Structure 1
Amino acid sequence: MLPSIAFVLTLAASAVAAPTTLAPRAGRTSPPSGCLAVGGSGKYKTVQSAVDALSASSTAAQCIFIAKGTYKEQVYIKPLKSALTVYGETTDTSSYTGNTVTITQGKSQDDAPNNDETATLRAWTPNLKVYNINLVNTRGQGSQALALSAYADKQGYYGCQFKGYQDTILAQQGSQVYAKSYIEGATDFIFGQKAIAWFDGCSLGVLTASVGYITANGRDSDSNPSYYVINNSKIAAAPGNTVSAGAYYLGRPWRNFSRVVFQKTSMTNVINAAGWKVWNTDDPRTDKVTYAEYANTGDGSKGTRASFSKKLSAAVSPSTVLGSDYKSWVDAAYLS
């Protein structure tokens, strides 16, 4: 998040499994017809060079295929007039477990002017679909350092991995979907101010930390549409990490109209019995928040929750959050 509100922590966590078992789909090992090809025998050697070769004026759908490998670069996708799909090579498109493509770098706000410019992928174009790519920011503890900066409407991320420490995913504006993906971090690692974001069938891996926060939604008024829903997902310590019981909170309010729901989600005991936390003792920001839960399970779902949170009597539907036409742009095959 912004430097003035940064809150630095230390780390820890045990393994996160895929939240649901899907019938494996065919692998994707060669470029779909018409796609620009990166790596392997493709024309482009870097992801950014393929992105730069896209037409900025065409309204016809475009696509990029990335061959297996690790690409050490920062990628910026500027606004396009067309839809864009970016595919990563994988042995199984149904989740992130067969991914073979990683884009990685280590920028942070130590060396960039704002959150967005630290991101491994800066996604500024609407009508974007990204499949089976690992996005990693290696900066680690000590500064805001994004894996993804999502700054446009109708973006979907399917079978992806997002790894960082502080501020891993910036869901900033527009409607977005994250499905069958893995998200890792310690401090406010799903955050943003105006986006509507639906997280479905995701594994949230928390890192070793004395205290940590999964979400920090920055909704600042009743008219701000921002809304995060984490649906049918799992929360546990990240692989190779050890996390103390109760070290993590589901969220804290970056702004006082913060709105987040966790529903039908399995939570290990890494989640504190209070569930939710004030921004800080002298500045709680809880007077207008909507923090709610429905039908969560596991040790982390138990206990006396914070007084400013509530239990719902029914699950929130995707259409409530994303609109009744969400299937026109979401790959619904990845939803629960």
Structure 2
Amino acid sequence: MTVLSTSLHVPVATAAASIAKTIVVNRSGTGDFRSVQEAINSVPDYNNQWIKIHLASGSYILLEGEGAQKTSIEWGDYASDSRGHDTASCGTFTSYASNIVVAGITFKNTYDGYSHTKQAVAALIAGDKSSLYSCGFVGYQDTLADLFGRHYFKGCYIQGVTDFIFGLGQSIYEVSTRTCRDSIRVHGSP
């Protein structure tokens, strides 16, 4: 995955900020691009303007969605798999970029950890000053890696079983819901 090398500013935070361009991703081909990665790759290096990436409804394998209940990005990888993935490389969504804003998307790691307890990260956020609004994070173990930096989560839903929020991030979770899924299940039980 390409890391964004852009500097973004939240338009809500300053009245002077405005969106210079909107890119639409739609798997049916009616948008500007069919994949999220193609849209991200189209943003020029060292961009200094606000560019909005809008995702049409649907599930995407690989930033504004049409709502966390309608737009999801899903992947089923886990740490210590046969390909040598670790916590940082098994995530459904990974962002090392600073000043990124994500809204209205659910990031789901579909790996079923009940049979083999492994780290299966839904999202790893490591850049500084990232803001996430009305997003969902769904997984089993280590769902949200709030790894490094200062982040703001507002109106988000976070679901997991074991250590479902972890990391060294200095974050604010405002009116977010954290749910421990199946909390009375013993590891290894059928």
TM-score in terms of structure 1 length: 0.46
Give, in whole Å, the separation in 2 of the partners of 1:152 and 1:211.
34
Structure with the bigger percentage of helix: 1
Report what 2:77 is aligned to.
Answer: 107
SS in 2 for 1:183: strand
Match of 1:63 in 2: 52
State whether structure 2 residue 78 is matched by structure 1 residue 89.
no
2:105 pairs with 1:133:
yes
Name the CA distance, whole Å, in 1 between partners of 2:128 and 2:52: 18
Q: Which residue of 2 aligns with 1:146?
A: 121
Contact 1:119 1:149 in 2 (8 A): yes
Aligned-partner residue type, residue 88 of structure 1: G
After superposition, give the CA deviation of every residue in 1:4-59 in whole Å (9 maximum; x if it has no partner).
xxxxxxxxxxxxxxxxxxxxxxxxxxxx7611111152121111121122212222
- Matched residue type, 1:49: E
Counterpart Cα distance in 2 of 1:61 and 1:173:
24
Distance 1:54 1:116 in 2: 24
Distance between the aligned counterparts of 2:85 and 2:61, measured in 1? 21
Tell me if the contact between 1:163 and 1:185 (Cα under 8 Å) persists in the aligned partners: yes
- Asked if the contact 2:80–2:86 (Cα under 8 Å) also holds between the matched residues in 1, the reply is no
Q: How many residues align?
A: 161
Match of 2:34 in 1: 45
Following superposition, the deviation at residue 209 of structure 1 comes to 3.4
Distance 1:190 1:211 in 2: 19
1:220-235 → structure 2 map (5 Å cutoff)? none
- Find the aligned partners of 2:166 and 2:96 in 1 and give their Cα distance: 16
What CA distance in whole angstroms lies between the structure 1 residues aligned with 2:70 and 2:22?
Answer: 18
**SS of residue matched to 1:34:** strand
Q: Which residue is 1:36 aligned to?
A: 23
Q: Spell out, residue by residue over 1:177-224, the C-alpha distance to the aligned partner (whole angstroms, 9 max, x if none).
A: 11101000000010013x101111111121113379xxxxxxxxxxxx
1:136 partner amino acid: K
The Cα offsets for residues 212-240 of structure 1, whole Å up to 9 and x where unpaired, read as 9xxxxxxxxxxxxxxxxxxxxxxxxxxxx
Amino acid aligned to 1:54: V
**Cα RMSD, aligned residues only:** 1.8
Percent sequence identity over aligned pairs: 27
Structure 1: unaligned runs, 5 residues or longer = 1-31, 74-85, 91-95, 213-336
- Please name the residue that 1:172 is paired with: 147
- Secondary structure of the 1:88 match is coil
SS in 1 for 2:166: strand
- The change in CA–CA distance for 1:58 and 1:43 in structure 2 (over 3 A counts) is same
Tell me if 1:72 matches 2:72: no
Structure 2, unaligned runs of 5 or more: 1-18
Distance, in Å, in 1 between the alignment partners of 2:85 and 2:56 is 32
Paired amino acid for 2:60:
Y
Amino acid at match of 1:35: T
Paired letter, 1:109 = A
Cα distance in structure 1, aligned partners of 2:144 and 2:167 = 8
Amino acid at match of 2:79: Q
What SS is found at the alignment partner of 1:188?
coil
Find the aligned partners of 1:117 and 1:107 in 2 and give their Cα distance: 9
Structure 1, residues 272-296: CA drift from partner, whole Å, max 9, x if none? xxxxxxxxxxxxxxxxxxxxxxxxx
Matched, 1:124 2:96: yes
